[in-house]
Structure 1
């Protein structure tokens, strides 16, 4: 059982909003790739490098701001570098589909596999110490003899989270294979990367987020049933 008493309670830096993330990871790269890739402007290689500089720079800034290494953030940076490498080295565009599928698949494997270790990733995803008073929650669960049952609940939620990432891997691969078909290093390739990036939010991110939110709602419902108290009793007081 993962113990939370030893976890740090220091507050993390304020998270950037969804629109900021989308600006640097979707909007700016898409605009650059679609508008600046022709030879009369930057050209395919320079436009691709500039477009990828925004999500890469944003990811580096996030790592610096947090002052700690985050495995998911590192994987995101590696993904950006691989996209740039495939484009600039003019490799087979099929590698884009493989890369797009590999990243969420790796995350899904880590999420599922970590449940058998002392550091289950799913608990960090589903149980946010900034939202829930975990010490109080686990004290009530222990008093009612429901700790192991809650752990099984977390395992079910973890399976849903892992499934969300595996679904993302499949959707990523299908989307990339359908859209990115032109040779790397061309204006058409850049336009296809832009289109794939633009479609990634409605086609991939939204279904995945729905599953993740469903897992969180399930956990919250189970907290109420196992503790016999309202979930509101375990929410952290907001400043």
Structure 2
């Protein structure tokens, strides 16, 4: 069995299990002649929920994003199965990225800012070499200001995601919860949210990483090859 340290991400498998299969079930198998509204919703939610639990249990590695995914799936299932007003679905869709964005900002007041954990960490960059060069160039204070700006940019990307999630949910999901039409619209929401929200958010985070690298290059003179972490 693979350990947590040797486990490699499998984005295509994650995409198929968590997005494509649930969307197909919701859109094509939720009619009264197939699984029914409740059965289709339970079957669709079982895939990302089961996959998330499998990853967490098998590799024994705490994953904050996986935990948020499990929370999101549970809330979506509750809204559908208890037939709550669809406005709660839009609120839930916006709440998850909004919580992350707030956590990014709040973390700046702690010894462990999330931007350092996400981007400026030994697994991504040669942090010790960068710190040494910053001291040599007397640029540590200037870099901290750039790092703080990167934090605001990351938080802004999650604000964008929260806003788009809310707008997309309000636009697509208009049928009452507990109906086949609700499930079909939920499947469309799951399917469309990846290209319309996840990819732009990913590009924004890559832009923040580029901004941070440019700051390091300007303040230290190091190239990209110099700053990227290498396995011992």
Other-structure match for 1:123: 116
TM-score by length of 2: 0.93
Aligned partner (choices 163, 168, 178) of residue 175 of structure 1: 168
TM-score by length of 1: 0.90
Other-structure match for 1:229: 222
Matched, 1:28 2:21: yes
Q: Residues of 2 paired with 1:12 and 1:147: CA distance?
A: 32
Other-structure match for 2:37: 44
Whether the aligned pair in 2 keeps the contact of 1:115 and 1:121 (CA below 8 Å) is: yes
CA offsets 1:187-232 (integer angstroms, 9 cap, x no match):
0000000000111012111221121111000111111111122131
SS of the residue corresponding to residue 145 of structure 1 reads coil
Gaps of 5+ in 1: 1-10
Q: 1:36 to 1:204 in 2, by over 3 A?
A: same
Aligned partner (choices 118, 123, 136) of residue 129 of structure 2: 136
Whether the aligned pair in 2 keeps the contact of 1:13 and 1:66 (CA below 8 Å) is: no
Whether the aligned pair in 2 keeps the contact of 1:72 and 1:107 (CA below 8 Å) is: no
SS of the residue corresponding to residue 125 of structure 2 reads coil
SS of the residue corresponding to residue 131 of structure 1 reads coil
Q: Residues of 1 paired with 2:188 and 2:130: CA distance?
A: 45
Whether the aligned pair in 1 keeps the contact of 2:27 and 2:184 (CA below 8 Å) is: yes
SS of the residue corresponding to residue 123 of structure 2 reads coil
1:238 CA drift (Å): 4.8
Whether the aligned pair in 1 keeps the contact of 2:7 and 2:59 (CA below 8 Å) is: no
Q: 1:66 to 1:119 in 2, by over 3 A?
A: farther
| Pairing 1:151-162 to 2, within 5 Å after superposition | 151-162=144-155
Q: 1:18 to 1:71 in 2, by over 3 A?
A: closer
1:37 CA drift (Å): 0.4
Q: 1:147 to 1:110 in 2, by over 3 A?
A: same
Gaps of 5+ in 2: none
CA offsets 1:60-112 (integer angstroms, 9 cap, x no match):
22323452433332222111000000000111111100000011000000011
What stretches of structure 1 move > 6 A for 4+ residues in a row? none
Other-structure match for 2:194: 201
Other-structure match for 1:3: none
Q: Residues of 2 paired with 1:191 and 1:220: CA distance?
A: 43
